Amino acid sequence: MRARAAMEAADAAEKAAKGRTASFVPSVASGPATFPLAAVVGQESIKTALLLTAVNPSGVGGVVISGTRGTAKSIMARGLHELCPPIEVVKGSPFNIDPSTGTMQEIDSFLLAELQATGKKLEDLETEIIPTPFVQVPLDVLEDRLLGSVDVEKSVRTGKTVFEPGLLARAHRGVLYVDDLNLLDESISNLLLEALSTGWVSVEREGQSVRHPCRPLLIATFNPEEAELREHLMDRIGICLSADAEPLTQEERLEATQRAVEFSTDPQAFIKKYEEGTSAMKSAITFAREYIKPIKTKRAQMKYLCENAIRAGVQGSRADIYSSEVARANAALNGNEIVDADDLVLAIKLCIAPRGTEIQAPPPPDDQQMQQPPPPPPPPEQEQDQDEDEQEQEQEPEPEQEQDDAAPPIPEEFMFDVEGVALDPEVMKFANKAKSGRSGSRGKIFSDERGRYIKPMLPKGKVKKLAVDATMRTAAPYQNKRRAREMEKTGVDQAGRVFIESADVRSKKMVRKAGSLIIFVVDASGSMALNRMNAAKGAAISLLAEAYQSRDKISLISFQGEFAQVVLPPTRSIAMAKNRLERMPCGGGSPLAHALNMAALTGMNAQKSGDVGEVLVVCISDGRANVPLSVSVGEGPVEGAPPVDKKELKEEVLKTARMLGMLQGFKLLMLDTENKFVSTGVAKEIAAAAQGKYHYIPKASEGAVASVASQAIANMRG
């Protein structure tokens, strides 16, 4: 009866919603047609996850789909929107408030103030049926557009501060789609996750204090080849699956191509062809939203989920909560009244396996141990005793057996063993993490001169870039008063003029990506020439090529004789760097302290330019120093003074290394080339003093040396 009533209500809602399509909702009739979700070939796990999220959007917490280009990520997201039934809202509400919420705490601050002023109740307000909203968050969205801000036009016209709702207000109870989630600005993604985790949006700015609910159905996609997705973003969203985990076969790929061509030729006919499957999915979602209300996950079933999460090495408790909600949604989608074992297995695959940190693939069948032979049959007397016991059990059932029958259904075996090995090979399709992105970790530089505009701020000193939008929003509510005041002074009608005061001015806060500067400090002294100088040169040239490919700047400092010199200033020219490195002379003393000092000065000057964030100092040396810093800077030794002690030289180098390590954004990588038969261990002490990384380069080829150095740099940057 409950499902029938829900279906009748959905049919009535669809009839009432016909012809009422919001401007931000794509329509098949008025705009580009939407590819039906039922017509997507393959990707059964992702389609199931989308349906479960539509059944229980607030509990599941959304779906993240990773995949390379052309894996139907956005098609499936938009196809799910077409399956969502219309919603009933308070008429004229820009926040899609549910009139059946039953509590005054689930409405926005404007409607709450209106009800308190008029004395009305929520059920007394007029309602309307609208299609489920579909809101897409663009990559260049600003904080004002996402959360909402002052409506300049209405504020100027009315003389009062008028709030304009943002994208999250429209997405409440609808579908919120975020494409390329990994490329979204960090501050915007943090605001988005905060609103989704709390279910509320709070705006406290420009004289406004607004609060409204925000519980959308979140669908996010990203391409792992472009950039990595932060771990805490994946943890906050219930299900994260890869579209590359189940590649299409040749037949499936052919079928997908034929369907795409057929859809582009005649969209309406193609949609009608799969109308039956689409209608079945719509009905399943409508029924399941009613079925899920009384379904509960038993304590024993939650214990089973938690045990699997522990065995898989899942951090935190979010996976346990999401898996419980997914199990409830799957039971409702299948029309069951309780959660069964299959629901728990699916929940582990969708929520726990992608978060596992200790999951191992099962061994191949050849490596598996031989199964133990069955136990020998019992003696005849024992068999007779067992037969008598079985007859007694059949005649008098024990109360414990009745309790076992009443226990909630749980799978017979765990999905992972105690060491995290997946007992079901199919689980590995969900446990495989997305491929690492190509782009390395990059810093960011915030400034008020150039970059991408992210938010307005109060100016500090002279304004270099005026934030016109924020300035107008701040000044808009006071225009009527300022025009009247100016008219009293001059006696001239000031209609149409905009008066801006110094307190209204806002400047732009901008951000841009900061490249890294890799400074190669190469020891060209006599001791270094005896210890694989050619291998060090080959490693440096290989690292220079990698730095060029990642668009970082490179610099080269050579030290020999009495001082160090910058052979190559910070540049991106690989040809010039290679030429100068190959022609670098060898021999003489080892002024290591002066070389580290020159690296610090070069890095600090590059950071002041505003284009460099992180500085990596790669020192290729044996760690020996025999020239003091005073000699390198031109002061020279004092006549009659005793020669410099080796301990003092060592302490001078370590002190310089400590100062280098204390500089902001500096990292040291020490590649030790010292012969271990006459080792002093100074290179390792230098790396420890600078809080950097140390690697010993044994006797190896240029390629091996370059591989060690390249991997060390990648680990430091990650």
Residues 465 and 571 both lie in one domain: no
CATH number at 154 reads 3.40.50.300
Report yes or no on 678 lying in a domain: yes
Q: Which of 322, 342, 358 is the last residue of a domain?
A: 358
The chain-wide mean pLDDT, for the chain, equals 75
Report yes or no on 17 lying in a domain: no
Q: What are phi and psi of 519, to 5 degrees?
A: -105, 115
Residue 451 neighbours by CB under 8 Å, 6+ apart? 445, 510, 511, 512
- Distance between CA atoms of 713 and 616, rounded to whole angstroms? 8
Report yes or no on 279 lying in a domain: no
Computed on alpha carbons and rounded to an integer, the radius of gyration of the chain in Å comes to: 34
Residues 52 and 135 both lie in one domain: yes
Residues 482 and 337 both lie in one domain: no
Report yes or no on 98 lying in a domain: no
- Distance between CA atoms of 240 and 65, rounded to whole angstroms? 6
Percent of the chain with pLDDT over 70: 71
Of 231-240, 254-263, 387-396, where does the model show the most confidence?
254-263
> Which range among 16-25, 175-184, 306-315 shows the weakest confidence by mean pLDDT?
16-25
Residues 606 and 705 both lie in one domain: yes
Number of structural domains (the chain) is 4
- Distance between CA atoms of 488 and 98, rounded to whole angstroms? 49
Residue with tokens 């008098």: 396
Mean pLDDT, residues 682-711: 75
**pLDDT tens across 109-145, in order?**
888 888 888 888 887 788 888 888 898 888 888 888 8
DSSP string, 385-406: HHHHHHHHHHHS--HHHHHHHH
Report yes or no on 236 lying in a domain: yes
Report how far apart, in Å, the C-alpha atoms of 584 and of each of 122, 174, 442, 567, 704 are. 81, 65, 31, 9, 22
Residues 709 and 580 both lie in one domain: yes
Q: Which of 253, 279, 302 is the last residue of a domain?
A: 253
What single-letter amino acid sits at 167? L
Q: Which helix (H) or strand (E) holds 553?
A: strand 553-560
**pLDDT tens across 403-419, in order?**
444 677 777 666 665 65
CATH number at 305 reads 1.10.8.80
How would residue 27 be classed by pLDDT, with cut points 50, 70 and 90?
Answer: very low
Residues 592 and 702 both lie in one domain: yes
pLDDT for the residue 28: 36
Report how far apart, in Å, the C-alpha atoms of 59 and of each of 54, 373, 602 are. 10, 47, 53
**For the whole model, what pTM was predicted?**
0.63
Domain range enclosing 458: 446-491+498-512
Sign of CA dihedral 62, 64, 70, 74: positive
Report yes or no on 699 lying in a domain: yes
CATH number at 694 reads 3.40.50.410
Residues 458 and 537 both lie in one domain: no
How many other CB atoms are found less than 10 A from the CB of residue 75?
Answer: 19
Residues 336 and 211 both lie in one domain: no
Residue 406 neighbours by CB under 8 Å, 6+ apart? none
Residues 471 and 572 both lie in one domain: no
Q: Which of 224, 253, 282 is the last residue of a domain?
A: 253
Report yes or no on 414 lying in a domain: no
Report yes or no on 421 lying in a domain: no
Residues 187 and 298 both lie in one domain: no
With CA atoms as reference, report the closest residue to 426 among 368, 366, 370, 350: 350
How many helices (H) and strands (E) the chain has is answered by 29, 19
SS3 content of the chain, % helix, strand, coil (to 5): 45, 15, 35
CB 520 within 8 A of CB 544: yes
Residues 142 and 160 both lie in one domain: yes
Task: Please give the structure tokens belonging to residue 495.
Answer: 């209609």
Report how far apart, in Å, the C-alpha atoms of 205 and of each of 150, 161, 227, 470 are. 9, 11, 33, 11
pLDDT for the residue 584: 66
Residue 453 neighbours by CB under 8 Å, 6+ apart? 142, 465, 467, 508, 509, 510
* H runs (alpha helix) in 591-701: 592-608, 629-632, 646-662, 682-689
How would residue 399 be classed by pLDDT, with cut points 50, 70 and 90?
Answer: very low
What single-letter amino acid sits at 390? E
Q: Which helix (H) or strand (E) holds 108?
A: none
* Residues assigned a catalytic role: 318
- pLDDT of residue 37 exceeding 50: yes
Residues 505 and 547 both lie in one domain: no
Task: Please give the structure tokens belonging to residue 542.
Answer: 């290989």
